[in-house]
Chain A
Amino acid sequence: MSTTAVPQNTALSRFTGVLGDVISRPSGALGLGLVAAHLIMALISPYLSPYDYKEMNAAMMLAGPDASHWLGTDHLGRDVFSRTIQGGREAILVTGIATPVAVFWGGMVGIFFGLIGGRVDEVLMRFVDAFLSLPWILKMLVLIVTFGTGIEVLIPTLAFFYGIPVIRIARAATHDVVARDFVSAARARGHKRLTIMRRELLPNVLDTLMVEGAMRWSWMLLAFSSLSFLGFGVSPPAPDWGLMISDARGYMSFAPWGVLGPVIALSSLIIGINLTADALAKALGIDRAQKAPV
Chain B
Amino acid sequence: MTAAPIIDIQDISIGFTGLSGSTLPVLRNIDLSVRPGESVGLVGESGSGKSTLALAAMGYLKRGLRVLNGSSHFNGDDMFSQSRKSLEHIRGGKLGLVPQNSGQSLTPTLRIGAQLTEALRLHSKLDQAQYRARVLELLGQVRLPDPEAIYARFPHELSGGQQQRVAIAMALAGEPDALLLDEPTTGLDVTTQAHILELLRDLAAETGMAMVYVSHDLGAIARVCDRVVVMYAGEVVLESTAKQVLTAPTHPYARGLLASIPKLSDPHLPTALDGRPPAPGKAGAGCAFVDRCGIASGLCRSSRPPLAAGPGGAMSRCHHAEQANQLPMTSTGADPERSDPNAPAALALDKVSISYAKQGLIEKLLGKEDTRPVTVDGISVAMKRGETLGLVGESGSGKSTILKSIAGLLPPAGGEITFGDGGHLPQEVERRSNDHLRRIQLIFQNPDDSMNPRHTIAEILEQPLKLYFGLKGQALHDRSAELLERVRLGAHYMTRLPSQLSGGEKQRVAVARAFAAEPELVLCDEVTSALDVSVQAAVLDLLNELKQEQGTTYVFVSHDLAVVRALSDRVAVLYQGRLCEIGPSEDVYALPSHPYTEVLLGAVLEPDPDYAPKLTADDVIELAPPAQGCPFQRRCPRKLGAICDTDSPPWQQQPNGHAVRCHISLEELNRLQVDEARSDETPKETLSA
Contacts and interface: CB of A to CB of B under 8 A. Distances in A.
Contacts of A186: 463
A13 B438 CA distance: 34
B495 A184 contact: no
B444 A181 contact: yes
Contact of A190 (B452, B467, B500): B467
A185 B444 contact: yes
Contact of B496 (A7, A185, A187): A7
A1 B451 CA distance: 23
Nearest to A179: B449
Q: Which of A6, A182, A186 counts the most B-chain CB atoms under 10 A from its CB?
A: A182
Interface stretch (B165-173, B216-224, B453-461): B453-461
A188 interface: yes
A200 B446 CA distance: 17
Contacts of B463: 186, 189, 191, 199
Interface in B233-289: 275-276, 278-279, 282
B332 interface: no
A184 B451 CA distance: 10
A188 B497 contact: no
Nearest to A2: B282
Interface in B430-455: 432, 434, 437-438, 440-442, 444-446, 449-455
Contact of A187 (B291, B429, B438, B441): B429
A2 B495 contact: no
B492 A182 contact: no
A189 B437 contact: yes
A8 interface: yes
B434 A188 contact: no
A237 interface: no
A189 B467 contact: yes
A9 interface: yes
B464 interface: yes
Contacts of A190: 429, 432, 434, 437-438, 467
Contacts of A10: 495
B454 A8 contact: no
B343 interface: no
B122 interface: no
Contacts of A200: 452
Q: Which of A6, A180, A181, A200 counts the most B-chain CB atoms under 10 A from its CB?
A: A181
Contacts of A203: 452, 454-455
A1 B496 CA distance: 16
B429 A9 contact: no
Contact of A182 (B434, B452, B464): B452
A110 to B, nearest CB: 18
A204 interface: yes
B568 to A, nearest CB: 22
A6 B493 CA distance: 8
Contacts, number: 76
Nearest to A193: B430
Nearest to A183: B452
Interface in B290-321: 291
A286 to B, nearest CB: 14
Contact of A185 (B282, B291, B442): B442
A190 B451 CA distance: 16
Nearest to B490: A1
A65 B409 CA distance: 72
B595 interface: no
Contacts of B467: 189-191
Q: Which of B446, B450, B452, B497 counts the most A-chain CB atoms under 10 A from its CB?
A: B452
Given A188-B407, A189-B464, A182 B451 contact: yes
Nearest to A202: B454
A155 B450 CA distance: 41
Nearest to A118: B358
B275 A1 contact: yes
B496 A9 contact: yes
A41 B602 CA distance: 78
A18 B389 CA distance: 47
Given A181-B449, A182-B449, A189-B467, A7 B434 contact: no
Contacts of B278: 2
B408 interface: yes
A284 to B, nearest CB: 12
A199 B451 CA distance: 12
Nearest to B278: A2
A189 B442 CA distance: 8
Interface in A1-32: 1-2, 6-10
A180 B453 CA distance: 11
A189 B409 CA distance: 10
A8 B495 contact: yes
Interface in B478-528: 492, 495-497, 500, 513, 517
Contacts of A184: 404, 409, 442, 444, 450
Contact of A7 (B279, B438, B451, B500): B500
A203 B453 CA distance: 9
B408 A188 contact: yes
A188 B442 contact: yes
A218 B275 CA distance: 52
B655 to A, nearest CB: 37
A113 B432 CA distance: 24
Contacts of B496: 6-7, 9
Interface in B409-430: 409, 429
A121 to B, nearest CB: 14
Nearest to B437: A190
A280 B279 CA distance: 31
A6 B432 CA distance: 39
A245 B559 CA distance: 70
Interface in B177-198: none
Nearest to A206: B454
A199 B463 CA distance: 10
Contact of B495 (A6, A181, A188): A6
Contacts of B495: 6-10
B461 to A, nearest CB: 12
Nearest to A8: B495
Contacts of B291: 1
A178 B280 CA distance: 35
A84 B440 CA distance: 66
Given A186-B463, A187-B409, A200-B452, A6 B279 contact: no
Contacts of B440: 188
B610 to A, nearest CB: 38
B453 A204 contact: yes
Interface in A85-126: none
A204 B497 contact: no
A189 B514 CA distance: 9
Nearest to B433: A190
A2 B500 contact: no
A14 to B, nearest CB: 9
A180 B449 contact: yes
Contacts of A8: 495
Given A9-B496, A181-B446, A188 B409 contact: yes
A103 B390 CA distance: 48
Interface string A243-254: 000000000000
A23 B454 CA distance: 23
Contact of A6 (B404, B429, B492): B492
Given A184-B444, A185-B444, A203-B455, 19 more contacts: A1-B276, A2-B282, A6-B492, A7-B496, A7-B497, A180-B450, A181-B445, A182-B449, A182-B450, A182-B451, A182-B452, A184-B404, A185-B451, A188-B442, A190-B429, A190-B467, A199-B455, A203-B452, A204-B452
27 contacts: A2-B279, A6-B492, A6-B496, A7-B500, A180-B450, A181-B444, A181-B446, A181-B450, A182-B451, A182-B452, A184-B442, A185-B513, A187-B429, A188-B407, A188-B440, A188-B441, A189-B441, A189-B467, A189-B517, A190-B432, A190-B437, A191-B467, A199-B455, A203-B452, A203-B455, A204-B452, A204-B454
Q: Which 9 A-B pairs have the closest CB atoms?
A: A190-B437, A203-B454, A181-B450, A181-B449, A181-B444, A188-B407, A182-B452, A188-B442, A9-B456
